[in-house]
Structure 1
Amino acid sequence: MIRFLPVAAMLLAVSGSAHAADPAPPTAWYWHNWTDHDGVSHMTRCAFHDYDLKTMSKPAGPQWQDHVHEGNAHIISTVQPAHWDGSWHPDPKVQWIIPLKGSWYVMAMDGKKVVMGPGDVSLGEDQMSRRDAKGHIGHFAGNIGDGPVTLMVIQTDEQPTVDKPCRFH
Structure 2
Amino acid sequence: MKYQLLYADEAGVSHWTDVHVGLTPIEFAPPAGNIHLSEPEAAAQAVFLRLPAGWNEPKHPSPRAQMLVCRSGAVEVTASDGEKRIIGPGDVWRMEDTHGEGHHTRVVSDEAFDAVVVQYP
Output the TM-score relative to the length of structure 1: 0.68
Instruction: Flag the structure with higher helix content.
Output: 1
Within-5 A mapping of 1:39-118: 39-49=12-22, 51-69=23-41, 71-118=42-89
For 1:68 and 1:55, how far apart are their aligned partners in 2? 15
Whichever of the two has the greater Rg, that structure is 1
**CA deviation map 1:54-98 (0-9, x unaligned):** 1322222211111241x3421010111111112211111100011
Output the TM-score relative to the length of structure 2: 0.93
Whether 1:120 and 2:84 are equivalent positions in the alignment is no
Q: State the shift of 1:126 in Å.
A: 0.4
Structure with the greater relative contact order (CA < 8 A, sep ≥ 6): 1 or 2? Answer: 2
Percent identity of equivalent pairs? 30
Instruction: Flag the structure with higher strand content.
Output: 2
- Structure 2: give runs of 5+ residues left out of the alignment: none
Aligned Cα root-mean-square deviation (Å): 1.2
Residue 3 of structure 2, aligned match among 30, 39, 48: 30
Whichever residue aligns with residue 81 of structure 1, its letter is P
Q: State the shift of 1:102 in Å.
A: 1.0
